[in-house]
Amino acid sequence: MKDKVIKYAARNVPNFTESSQRAGHIAVGEMYLTKYFFPGMDFFYLFPRMSLEDLRLLDRGKATDKEWFLLRNEPGVTIKTIDDIENLSENVRKSFLTIKNSPLKGPALQTYKAAVRTMYEEIFVGKARVI
């Protein structure tokens, strides 16, 4: 986008709720790295394997969690979900939702990569839009 950067990541609810996954640390690091590479720009941190309801669940359950607090309160950073992508092809949307809580390996990883590729193309050509 002209005035924003979109960074997408494969985050899902278990990444933030299961201690064995520790993806919150990685997400925060990626957020600050993106801010470093694009100084002064706002950015959307897009988690296409999550829904708005998933965000609400994390906001309620992880409100005092250090990583979640940083992600949700960093100026210029907005977390977006699959529900924030307007006009995304229904088959792409379904692909993300079918693997939303799956570990990304094997067939789930293949599904994710194909869905991301199509999502990127649709956003890039203007068919879909992050709102």
d(C-alpha 23, C-alpha 6), whole Å? 19
Q: What is the pLDDT along the chain (131 residues), one digit of tens a residue?
A: 677 899 999 999 999 988 777 788 899 999 999 999 999 999 999 999 999 999 999 999 998 889 999 999 999 999 999 999 999 999 999 999 999 999 999 999 999 999 999 999 999 999 999 99
8 A C-beta contact, residue 101 and residue 13 = yes
A 10 A CB-CB count for 86 gives 11
Strands ordered across the beta sheet of 77-81: 4-8, 42-47, 77-81
The confidence score (pLDDT) of residue 24 equals 85
Vertex 34: Cα angle to 32 and 37 (nearest 5): 110
Distance separating alpha carbons of residues 99 and 67, to the nearest angstrom: 24
Give the per-residue pLDDT at 23: 84
For the whole prediction, is pTM greater than 0.95? no
* Per-residue pLDDT, 1: 67
Which residue do the tokens 């006009």 mark?
87
